[in-house]
Chains A and B, each alone.
Chain A
């Protein structure tokens, strides 16, 4: 016999100002099966919860309906209270008489009636609820970190130092990302590689971290605590165990004129190469697309010269399957190339470069050994014009957001330039100066007040080349939009930060949401910045949105903390609201016909085939089976099944129809 308790909440005045709560409680008491009914000001408070617990014990309740706010707010609260009183938590339901009633209607009799109707539907449902047990899922305490930039490095170290295993997957031949390309970092002007390379080495040497470079994620299956990640280790054509990193092969390779990705096209590299001198691992890879042997069958110089015989042209890609409990996405970002700007020459002027190219120029290990020189003729530029907001905050070009870091690195660039070319004049065309971090504003002021950077507020309409100089046509809006024309020796465009190439396809492989700019979507913009909507996959760094180094590192540590928290449990509990294929006595065993249409339409690949065997071990029937660990309770298969063999625990067809009929029968 059902013994249901109904608890009507006033929610302060949120509900009681519009709904006559005592009347609702009174009406509820008359419903067959209800043995207890009351109303109270704050059901979710301590005394409120105590009321529920006491009522459960006193009246031997078999089910509880709390009519209050949305279950998204307090379902866990009330279910926990019931559990503490000894009642299975899934025998507790909430009727939403706030968001669905008091907050959307005016005070009237009908509003109170509607509240009563809502209560009645939940009472009818709860009468048919079954006690359910949470599903326990084991947790694999290995994390896969995708992306080996500073965010990926930080996350890997944090997780590894907490005692868990980490596999760091990086698609380039070396870890380090963009930070390894920078010369000095703001606001301290620290040498970027000097602070990063020790961390890179730490990652390589850490006993808990396995580094997989020149590797890419092929696919991801599974669910939180139990992911299966397939990684393709691209063939380096070099046996890392034999290679000593002597570099002889890179000096003798006959194909020398390949634009160097690390140097952003400002220098060339050979076909067998190490991306940069401080690369980790410091072993070369062969670029098979451009290697003479792989394109035409001739050469093999590197193999002949290698003192340890480490070159192996037959090496093949290796597909590795990893098992992990959590995934951290740290795939970083990219910046627009100068080709993106028609009004600045479509990238055809050699002396118009972007910020990242300027970093390589300013870097001591760069193509000019840290000297600022014009790419066209190698002379030292006396006038350099920096354009902030090149492509950012530009809806006409499709990028309406601010790329956050450019104001700071442009100020930095003017300082680096001035420190190296004392007689030079840096100009900056800007719209605003966004320097909100710690010591950031002081840094930009230093560029203007001490290092002589000439800031002009206005955007540049066009740049063209005349007699070896670049004519920059801008305006000074602080002087009414007065046109300003500068004959520059070099122009640096602070181009917009964009999602790294391949972000969209990776997000689709991982079933992670992304926005229209292909930045990965956080679960909540304010309260969950390092989580995604996919349980167990976390975000770190600029792959979520443009950010500077301190923010990337913070996010990485935040993501690592989430992973470590996840790994602190030996098993995970999942809500048992999952679909189930019915089982009946023999001979049918199940009304499932084995059509497996449900398997095709399940968005979570949670349905597989199950063989039903007789005592002799012969397969009698093959029916659908839903993996409770993967099922997200969406209900698609329940609606779809043609033989009505699937039902949803916690929202059975019987329960849902009871709700509907409760509404219809009383009108």
Chain B
């Protein structure tokens, strides 16, 4: 059994009854929508037409929101409905990044994620969803796609249907009849900063202006003009998430370098590798964890990640990795402090693996954020590892400089940083300048390379944060430490831009 929807846009008159009936049935607060009607217009007078599209959760058979949700708050029922359980939700908003359809929001009353759930509470007592029964035109058809006799199955069998973003591989179960591609496909639409009878919230307008500026055609060649849409929460993830990425690089980097050094036969108990590296790791792991928890809408439920875990979610794996890594770092530090530095030789390999995993697991997490094409990059893992190297070398250099450590040791670190920065330059160039397979990813990259953020990127990340630190490696270890500070700053700017850009292109 698989419940799905057919939305017959040949019948839909754009009346918004479904929108309001849904709000009533599910007590959806202002500013949030579980289903909504988008309007677009095409043509020139008098050959003009307005088209509508009823948009909502697609109850995907391969639902990325279910995969990414760390606490099984989102789940696919055996009858095909993708439902959610607010009592398990920690408010991490990763589902909002995973969904390519803009279907999720955070309910301000419960501070947990919500979306269309096919009125599962009604289905349970044998009733159709509220939007289906209110529709004056019976344009929304609900039913079992697997029952060949059902109306919905017959429609899907006999009529030409479309789905939104089939290329995302989500196997959506909302099928459109007679829909206008100009309404379903956001990439075909021009931009607008207000609608025919509604405003757009200020937060959206910034994005609209930015994205419009990098559109090659300035929207002139667009198929359709959006004339009505509901507000969508721009950028669920903010500075706390970019700071988390940055802090995590600093947590992972020092022990990554130290463990390589130890495995390569270096002295395990030296000041920088013996104490500073694990101490930095522990300190910044603490910061990483704090940022992660603070970014949750329900921070007090943080432990659900461990105790109500979805083992398919990279967020869960990340939590375990960070815990394990913290444990190894703590042992490392404890061994050295307890004068048993030789034990570190046994910790070096696990530390290497876990530091790499700590730095790199985010590639899998952002990879599960399937709504954001820009983040779906195979270069993300190398970028994160290189970032950890840069951050590790830079932070150790700074500590070394501050603590007046052995200058020869710092020289090696400087060289590591220079090489890592060189690699970083290559990876970022490849990431941003190599043509992107998807338009959304290309637009996000363009925001960084030639749009709103070109100055912080070229000036801050590339010139001041990558090239200059490389140059500063040579004069003295002191200048190398200064370079390290610049490299960390550049890294911070990059993570911030990367997190913002990925969320700047509209999903619907």
Same assembly:
no
A residues with CB within 8 A of B:
none
Binding site for A on B (CB under 8 A): none
